[in-house]
Structure 1
Amino acid sequence: MRRSPRASVTTKPSHGGPVRQRATTIALAAIAATAVAAPVAQAKTTITMSGSTSVYPLITSLARSYVTSGPGKGKVGFVVQQGGSDTGITDVSRGRVTIGNASRAQQPSDPGGIVFNKIAYDAVCIITNASNPIGTLSQAQVESIFTGRTRSWSQVPGARATGSIELVSRTATSGTADAFREIFLGGQLSIAASAQVKSSNGLVKQTVEASKGAIGFVSLDFVDSDLRTVNYQGVGCTLRNAKSGQYKGVRPFSLVTRGKPTGASKAFIKWVQTSSAAKAVINQHWIPVR
């Protein structure tokens, strides 16, 4: 798995809801290539974020670029926490953070008065253990497996694993889980209650790596040679296929604000959406918004 950008890291409990996995502080003083980031207290403005574990690698890369060589240099600092898309959306709606990071589309049930500022698209990949490559799955097969109707690998054409299928899913606050249900389960079906529930992409990845009978789903950025990705409807989950539109398992990444963005948040979001520097970061592992 690709490592997140270098930054000073502290761990602290959440203000309500699930415990945050990490809080990353990215300071805005001029930073030499080998220097340690200065404390956020030295920055004039601090942008606080919480939310999606899928958006986390991208947003920390963008924030690092913004404060080291972009217009935020010496002016802005970032504190980025995780916790899931729904947590970020709730946090920003209640004024707990400046921006909520979301890896799903806006829903009617979301709090009123928030704005989804789209910054990129990301592919969601179905993954299996490295010892259990599967050629391709149709939507009907994916639905049957993840709803629990298909329970044995012997019922899945091409599978090398034997025995029971071990489903690995995400917590209720996960935008990746919401996107998976919308894209792969038609938005109407639910993942089987027997599935193991994990709080992050990284934990899903670790679980599938460790069990020959496991199957789950993660953001494309978390895929590496320790896993197998499953072709969906005959198309591989690759960045090239996602960018071309051939791979259909794609969802939006958004920076969610309380009302239209203003001040430092507005400047950062505009830079992310329009600058060539931000586009270069996004193009590495994600799909820019056209």
Structure 2
Amino acid sequence: MLRFSLTATLALVGAGTLAGTLATPVLADGRLEARYKLSLAGLELGRAALVLEVDEKSYTASGSARLTGVVQAVSTGKGTAGARGQIDHGVLAPRAFAMEAETDKKAEAIRLVMNGAGVTDMNVEPPVMPVPDRVPLTDKDKRGVFDPMSAALIMVPGTEEALSAKACERTLSIFDGRQRYDLELSFERMEEVKAEKGYVGPAVVCRIAYRPVAGHRPNRSGVKYMMKNKEMYVWLAPIAGTRMLAPFRAAVTTAIGVAQLEALSFISEPMVGRQAGPAKAAIP
């Protein structure tokens, strides 16, 4: 449960979506700084921060998380995650992903190196243990995929309104170093959202379906539960100066209540004509 709390915080920070074509170059530079609260059944479990920066040729993403609230009384935990990549002919092309998470009982680290074809090098600590019921990962499972952090960005093609049902019309192929899975998104509704600081306005709500491909253990009750789970959603809000959207809120129904990540602060601004600095997220 404690490990789930920290890992879920990092995962939900990057549980948005990606893909698409950059349609209007003049609207290609933007920056987002966001702070989130993770809760389970109404109880605060953690805080997280996310910074996204994008220009016409590249993007960077940085996130951090720590356990707080009632969980902190029995266990400490913190983690960081980051990704960078290029924008090649209007398409996100991940180049590197790294994640580190640590509690008082366990530490893990994942590093991926990627090119246009897929993962070219990786290191996972502790390594994935071979067990008879685990669906094996193959080289094919590491091709044509995105890392979880790059999946925090949506680039909506065309010249129509970016904040629309089209943002949800996609299936995402993701490899996180341990598992290869698809997230199938479908449009649910439009909804007004309001952060304590920053963004106030409409968000597009996408329903999410989890489809494991490899690296998972299909007989595990948790895997079966998530495959059948029809109550997983992400709320996507716009990043100023771009045709991109990023997660404002995410919610997953679990056996013990709703796990939710919600923005306390969601501040974005265009960066046209400004010098971008290195993306770095810090938790208040």
Q: Given the two structures, how large is their TM-score scaled by the length of structure 1? A: 0.23
Structure number with higher strand proportion = 2
Give 1 or 2 for the bigger CA radius of gyration.
1
Structure number with higher helix proportion = 1
